[in-house]
Amino acid sequence: VTGTNGKTTTVSLTAEMLKNAGYKAAAVGNIGVPFINWCKWLGENDAAVVEVSSFQLEQSQCFCSDIATITNITPDHIERHGTMENYIEIKKSIFKNTKEMAVMNSEEQYEVKCKKFIYSLSDENADLFVKDGIIYYRTDEELIDVISIEDLKIKGDHNILNALCALSLAICFSGGCSECFADTLRKYNLPKYRIECLGEVCGMNVFNDSKGTNIGATICAIKSMRGDTVLIMGGYDKLDDYTLFFKTLDPKIKHILLCGANTLAVLNGAKNAEKDNIIEVFEDINSAVTNAFQYTDCNNLLFSPATSSFDVYYDYKQRGKVFEELINAKRQSQ
C-alpha cells in the first residue's frame, strides 16, 4: 500500500479486517514494524499488509506483491524527487511486479499487467461502490449489501475512500466479503493525530491533525470542519507552492496562525492569492496555541501543519504529542 495520504489508515484497517476473519495478518513497513521482521513468520496463507513510502519504492525496484494499491497521489516530497512527474512514476512503480490484483479508485486508474479491482464513491460499475449511503460489493452472481456509511466511526469522504480501499484489499486477499469485515468497519477508530478531536477548550472544538504532513491532507481536514475555524499550520520546508492552496481555501478558515521553517513559502502563496491578511506569524507552536483562543468568532481550532515536522520534531507523532500537551495545559488553566 502506497499513496500520498491514507496509507496508515488503509494498512491498519486491512490488517484488522483480516485478523478478525481468522487470518494471521500484520501491519508492517513504514507504519513502524519492519517488513523483514515479519517475513520469517509468514506462512502460505498469512498476510503482511505493507505500508510503503515513495522513499522506499525508490530503493526497491524488485519488490513483488500479490496485491497492491495506491490510495491517492497529490503533491508531496518534491524537495526529494525533483518534480511531480518523478513522484508519480515512483508511486506507480508499486504495480511493476504485482502478481495478482491491482486495487484502484475508479477516478485514479493506472495501466497494469495484472487484474484490476475497482472501488468508487459513486460509480455503480465498480466492484465495490457506494449508493444511497450503502457500500455494495459486486460479485459475478450477486450484489452484496456490506454496510451503511452511517455505521462507520470514521467520517469524511477521504476516510470513506480509505475504508473502501481497505475493504477491497481484504476481499481480494480472502476471495470474498466476510461479515467480519463489516463488523471491523463498525468498530474501527482512526490512529492518533488524524483530525483527532481533543474536546472543547475555551469555547472552541480542538482538533489535532499533526498527521496532516502535506497540503492534500490539510485540505481534507479543513473539509471535515463544521463552522468557522482557526488553522495552525507550518513546519518543515518541502519547497511546496501554497498559491493554489490559498486560492481555493475554504471560506470557513477565518484565521491562520503560522509557524515553522516554511513560513516564507506559505506567506508567498498567501500573497499570490491575496489571502495574507488572515495570517499571523508566530515563533513556534507554543506561542501559536497561546494566541489561538483570542478568536472568539470561531467554533474550531484545527492544528494541521500541511507539511512535515522535521524542522523541529522527530516525527508527526512527537509534534502531535506536543500540541496535545499544550491544549491540555490550556484546558487546566481556563
In the predicted structure, residue 182 carries a pLDDT above the cut 90: yes
pLDDT digits (tens, 9 = 90+) for 245-288: 999 999 999 999 999 999 999 999 999 999 999 999 999 999 99
Higher pLDDT, 245 or 43: 245
Bridge partners, residue 129, by sequence: 120, 136
Angle at 317 between CA 243 and CA 6, to 5 degrees: 60
Confidence of residue 156 (pLDDT cuts 50, 70, 90): confident
In the predicted structure, residue 168 carries a pLDDT above the cut 90: yes
pLDDT digits (tens, 9 = 90+) for 119-130: 999 999 999 999
Pairing of strands 128-131, 204-208: unpaired
In the predicted structure, residue 223 carries a pLDDT above the cut 90: yes
CA–CA separation, 298 and 109 (whole Å): 39
Q: Please give the helix or strand (H or E) that residue 32 lies within, else none.
A: none
If you compute the radius of gyration of the chain from its CA atoms, what whole number of angstroms results? 20
pLDDT at position 325, please? 98
Confidence of residue 79 (pLDDT cuts 50, 70, 90): confident
Alpha carbon dihedral 29, 171, 91, 4, in 10-degree steps, equals: -80
CB 94 within 8 A of CB 2: yes
- Give the position of cell 481556563: 334
E strands, the chain, are 25-29, 47-51, 67-69, 101-105, 115-120, 128-131, 134-138, 143-148, 196-201, 204-208, 229-233, 253-258, 279-281, 300-303
Name the CATH topology of 7-187: UDP-N-acetylmuramoyl-L-alanine:D-glutamate ligase (3.40.1190)
- Give the position of cell 463489516: 182
Q: Provide the sign of the torsion angle of the four alpha carbons 225, 231, 236, 242, taken in this order.
A: positive
Confidence of residue 173 (pLDDT cuts 50, 70, 90): very high
Pairing of strands 134-138, 128-131: antiparallel
Bridge partners, residue 302, by sequence: 207, 231
CATH 3.40.1190.10 in the chain, residues? 7-187
Amino acid at 301: L
CA–CA separation, 6 and 279 (whole Å): 28
CA–CA separation, 167 and 13 (whole Å): 8
Alpha carbon separation from 322 to 31, 123, 193 (Å, rounded): 21, 42, 11
Confidence of residue 63 (pLDDT cuts 50, 70, 90): confident
In the predicted structure, residue 105 carries a pLDDT above the cut 90: yes
CB 211 within 8 A of CB 12: no
Rounded to the nearest integer, the mean pLDDT of the chain is 95
CATH 3.90.190.20 in the chain, residues? 196-333
pTM for the complete prediction?
0.88
User: What single-letter DSSP state applies at residue 195?
Assistant: S
Is 196-333 a domain of CATH 3.90.190.20?
A: yes
Determine phi and psi for 171, rounding to 5 degrees.
-65, -45
CA–CA separation, 232 and 276 (whole Å): 14
